[in-house]
Amino acid sequence: MTTPESRTAGLSNVVRIYRAVSGEVHALRGVDVDFPPGGITAIAGPSGGGKSTLLSILALRDRASAGTVTLFGTDVTQARASVLKTLRRTSIAWVPQRPAHGLFPHLTAIENLRQASMIRGRPDGLEPEAALDLLGLSHRAAARPNRLSGGEQQRLAVAAALTHAPALVVADEPTAELDDDNAERVLAALTTVAASGTTCVVSSHDPRALRRLPRVLHLRHGVLSAERSGAELLETREADAVIDSAGRLQLPPEALALFPGRRTRVRIVDGQVVLKAPEVNP
């Protein structure tokens, strides 16, 4: 059983509802997930499935409408804004989908990393120069963000997050606009800091990242549907389906296709649960 002390972060039956002109939008519908220390997890799934919402709640940039959010062994669901601000500054690194939003435009690349280092005040982990080198940006150290290409900005935002990396790094599509070599640099850098104990959680549509990362969670319609490793994506059609705290099971898309009527017969045979599409009378 996972305990608060054995995880960096955990969501328990988390719901997020947004109110729009057209009515309520249920972005998350009771998500249960733990993120252990030093692990790398990818959140995959179609656009609009809730990936960015999940990451925003995990990074304390948004609040859950219901459920429990635990970080570093503490329930922060109803924590004061000042507490959340301190955690964001010192314990969580956030890489936004638009990397320029996470950079200081008036500072050079190396100054951005030094500023991140100063804000965190941590002695451990990658020094600014080492992080810049790891992401292949040493030759751009003196350039300001507006002089960098989109891909260079993306790598700089990752380098800033990994400089003296805190306990949790949350990145929204960090390899989306990168070529193969630079995508590999980002994934290798995440692996490096995870090996030192930092927990990394990324959202991704990128098959290169999903094949490479050890843990992939699939989120559809605001519900976690399956968990698998990148190797399983290549080698097998098996996946661990997720049963939430309400007992709901969401089938992976390839399994769902076997039930076009959206109904199933459930049988328990020799201690195993068997799902079978009901017979349709002509």
Q: Look at residue 136 and tell me whether its pLDDT is greater than 50.
A: yes
The CA distance from 54 to 28, in Å, is 7
State residue 192's pLDDT score: 95
| Residue owning tokens 């304390």 | 60
> DSSP for 83-113?
HHHHHHHHTEEEE-SSGGGGS-TTS-HHHHH
Over residues 139-166, the mean pLDDT reads 96
State residue 264's pLDDT score: 76
Mean pLDDT is lowest, of 162-171, 225-234, 259-268, for 225-234
Q: What are the pLDDT digits (tens) for 205-225?
A: 899 999 889 899 999 889 988
Q: Look at residue 234 and tell me whether its pLDDT is greater than 70.
A: no
The CA distance from 191 to 228, in Å, is 18
Phi/psi at 205 (5° precision): -100, -5
Q: What are the pLDDT digits (tens) for 33-53?
A: 999 999 999 999 988 889 999
Q: What are the pLDDT digits (tens) for 78-120?
A: 999 999 999 999 999 999 988 888 899 999 999 999 999 999 9
Of 180-189, 210-219, 234-243, 271-280, the range with the highest mean pLDDT is: 180-189
Q: Look at residue 251 and tell me whether its pLDDT is greater than 70.
A: no
Over residues 182-196, the mean pLDDT reads 95
State the average pLDDT for the chain.
87
Mean pLDDT is lowest, of 160-174, 225-239, 258-272, for 225-239
The answer for residues whose C-beta is within 8 angstroms of residue 130's C-beta and 6 or more apart is none
Count of all residues that appear for the chain in the document: 282
The CA distance from 275 to 264, in Å, is 6
Phi/psi at 20 (5° precision): -120, 170
Q: What ranges in the chain are assigned the alpha helix state H?
A: 51-58, 81-90, 109-120, 128-134, 150-162, 180-195, 207-212, 230-235, 253-256
State residue 32's pLDDT score: 93
Which residues share a beta bridge with 194?
none
Q: Look at residue 4 and tell me whether its pLDDT is greater than 90.
A: no
pLDDT tier at 274 (50, 70, 90 boundaries)?
Answer: confident
Of 136-140, 241-245, 271-275, the range with the highest mean pLDDT is: 136-140
**Percent of the chain predicted with pLDDT > 90:** 63
Q: Look at residue 275 and tell me whether its pLDDT is greater than 50.
A: yes
Mean pLDDT is lowest, of 7-16, 113-122, 134-143, 250-259, for 250-259
State residue 230's pLDDT score: 56
In the chain, what are the domains? 4-276 (3.40.50.300)
Distance of CA 120 to CAs 91, 162, 166, 194, Å?
A: 7, 11, 8, 18
Q: Measuring CA to CA, which residue among 26, 64, 34, 29 is closest to residue 223?
A: 29
State residue 7's pLDDT score: 74
